[in-house]
Chain A
Amino acid sequence: MQVHQEGSVVDVALQSGVVEGYDVAARAKALSRLRGIDIVFRVLTRASALGVLIILGGVIISLIDGSLPALRTFGLNFLIEERWNPVTEKFGAIAPIYGTLVTSFIAMVIAVPIGLLIAVFLTELCPMFLRRPIGIAIELLAGIPSIIYGIWGLFVFAPFLQETLQPFLIATFGNVPVLSALFAGPPYGIGMLTAGLILAIMVLPFVTSISRDVFDAVPPVLKEAAYGIGCTTWEVVRYVVLPYTRVGVIGGVMLGLGRALGETMAVTFVIGNAHKVSSSLLAPGTTISATIANEFTEAVGDLYTSSLIALGLILFVITFIVLAIARYMLLRIERRIG
């Protein structure tokens, strides 16, 4: 509170006795002290803002530095080799990359339509008094820590899928040419499909809340005009709201994708950690983040550790690009609605 009293007018500070005497010298001294504080504060805030950039720079530099031994040994082959053998110290990243992309793809295929439909419900159909509570409930899904999804997926969801969905998929598509390869093998419960489904639940809130926000930002005049010429609610959504908010929706989807790509704990529990590129979605696989989480503390030898860090670098580059596109898209729609 001392600071606060000084911080009012200098004269008041002098009169109230915080600074003694009321002459020109004291006044000048008080003023220069205030200016000093002002400059220090400004420099501090600027340094902190630069600190955010330094964190990003630090992440990139440390990841590159850590992955150099692996990249030097394996070169670009690291990106396309499937082998992952800690004993002979031969490492390749294609299996985790493949698993990451496949699980995220499954997640987005499921989460995007459902998320958009929930956003439509919240903005067009839902009675006013229910909008906030339902919106918050969906957002709470995003607040649940990923390890909870993991433990739930391992003990509840995977056994459930093993007994219901997976045998059904195998029985239904077992004899269909292309699909039989996708749903081949015994139902393990864990595997890429299970991981993708859990990721879908996890990214759903992101897709929903961003779509809802951009849907809400559509000028009412546009919607009213469409209703005025006799459009149904669905037609308003399909031909007015969606075209108007397309960029924002894509931004939200990319943001969800960024989450799905980098999600670690939930996937680690249910993916099975098998370094194998397998066409079957029911087979165990691995993702970049799951590999790092499972193996990093047990990795012996510089090359092993370095290969894991190189995986981290690949993950960071992929998510950085996806998130940068997402932010760019959202910035564009913000400007337009703005």
Chain B
Amino acid sequence: MNHLYARRRRRNGIMMGLSLGATLLGLGWLVVILAVLLWEGFSGLSLAVFTEMTPPPGASGGLLNPIVGSLILTILAVVIGTPIGMLAGTYMAEYGRHDRLTSVVRFINDILLSAPSIVVGLFIYEVMVAPMGHFSGLAGAVALAVIVIPVVVRTTEDMLILVPNQLREAAAALGTPRAFVITTVCYRAAKAGMITGVLLATARISGETAPLLFTALNNQFWSTNLNAPMASLPTVIFQFALSPYKDWQMLAWTGALIITFTVLALSIVARALTASSKQS
């Protein structure tokens, strides 16, 4: 009897030790990746990075045009994708909470949420780049918007479902039309969660590379023309990191540092926002 008990305890100890080890391993990777990024990225970080254009190999320069390009593409994508996503999420949570269309859309949306982003790039190439005959910043922004939509749909629906029905009923009892119940009562109650969704979507697309490779392409020079190829940080990192030039590789690390900390900051702010709204 004692023997059996000892064996069970030993097995328990081993498995629990393994699970502690697995957790340390997971956290360890995060630390290692961030440490390498800081180490490699900081050595190249200087004012020139934010004020000069991408250099030809061998010359010095910065990342001004890809940074600006990334900002334009990301903001445009969020501006295009957010309203569509919010409206779709609104339909699913408010008008058609129990109808067939909603359950189909929810299923498809969840699949789009994790669909390979490179396929989105191919899609936009087929519907925008090929017919227009040239790569363009606009196509890149639309490709990113396609990635934004499912994220926003999901969070909007989840947050609106959490709004208590009494609020809607109270507003309706005052004679408020449905559209105004939703926009003035439900949206306000769900505001923090919906902003979180938009922030998470922004974080997601600011590091996306694959859908930009053959939509916005890349641009060595300063360009804010949406109808022409546009530089973006991820594509520049891709190009520079795979190049044999040391200067370019260093700029790639610096760009990687900038992107990572932007993304991490966005997702931490998003989480803090939901945490504080849950407590209140």
Residues of A within 8 A of B (CB): 3-4, 7-10, 34-35, 37-38, 40-42, 44-53, 55-56, 58-59, 62-63, 65-66, 113-115, 117-118, 120-122, 124-126, 134, 136-138, 140-141, 143-152, 154-156, 201, 204, 208, 232-235, 237, 255, 258-259, 261-265, 268-269, 289, 292-293, 296-297, 308-309, 312, 315-316, 319-320, 323-324, 327
Contact = CB atoms under 8 A, between A and B. Distances in A.
A305 to B, nearest CB: 9
Nearest to B107: A327
A58 B125 CA distance: 12
Contacts of B259: 145, 147-148
A262 B115 contact: yes
Given A41-B178, A52-B88, A146-B210, 11 more contacts: A7-B180, A46-B96, A52-B112, A62-B126, A63-B126, A146-B209, A233-B12, A269-B241, A297-B217, A309-B126, A319-B114
Contacts of B36: 152, 156
A136 B272 CA distance: 11
Contact of A143 (B27, B114, B182, B263): B263
Interface stretch (B15-23, B43-51, B55-63): B15-23
Given A137-B30, A234-B16, A315-B119, A7 B176 contact: yes
Given A46-B95, A49-B88, A49-B92, A147 B118 contact: no
Given A62-B127, A121-B22, A292-B118, A55 B112 contact: yes
A9 B175 contact: yes
What are the 5 tightest A-B residue pairs by CB atom distance, in nearest-first order? A145-B207, A262-B116, A7-B180, A45-B91, A48-B87
Contact of A264 (B107, B117, B242): B117
12 contacts: A8-B180, A48-B86, A52-B88, A115-B22, A117-B19, A122-B23, A148-B33, A292-B118, A315-B119, A323-B110, A323-B111, A327-B107
Contacts of A232: 8-9, 11-12
Contact of B122 (A63, A125, A320, A324): A63
Nearest to A113: B22
Contact of B241 (A151, A259, A263): A151
Chain A CB count within 10 A is highest, among B23, B90, B109, B271, for B23
Contact of B119 (A146, A235, A255, A316): A316
A150 B213 contact: no
B239 to A, nearest CB: 11
Contacts of A143: 203, 263-264, 267
B12, B177, B253, most chain A CB atoms within 10 A = B177
B111 A320 contact: yes
Contacts of B203: 143
Contacts of B125: 296
A234 B12 contact: yes
Contacts of A4: 180, 184
Contacts of B83: 48
Contact of B19 (A34, A120, A235, A316): A120
B33 A144 contact: yes
A61 B269 CA distance: 38
Nearest to B22: A117
Contacts, number: 284
Nearest to A120: B19
B160 to A, nearest CB: 11
Contacts of B150: 52
A264 B174 contact: no
Contacts of B222: none
B126 A148 contact: no
A59 B123 contact: yes
B105 interface: yes
Contacts of A40: 179
Contacts of A122: 23
A31 to B, nearest CB: 9
Contacts of B127: 58, 62
Interface in B165-215: 174-180, 182-184, 203, 206-210, 213-214
Contact of B179 (A38, A155, A297): A38
A144 B120 CA distance: 20
A151 B242 CA distance: 9
B143 to A, nearest CB: 11
Contacts of B105: 49-50, 52-53
Interface in B196-252: 203, 206-210, 213-214, 217, 234, 237-238, 241-242, 249, 252
Contacts of B111: 56, 320, 323-324, 327
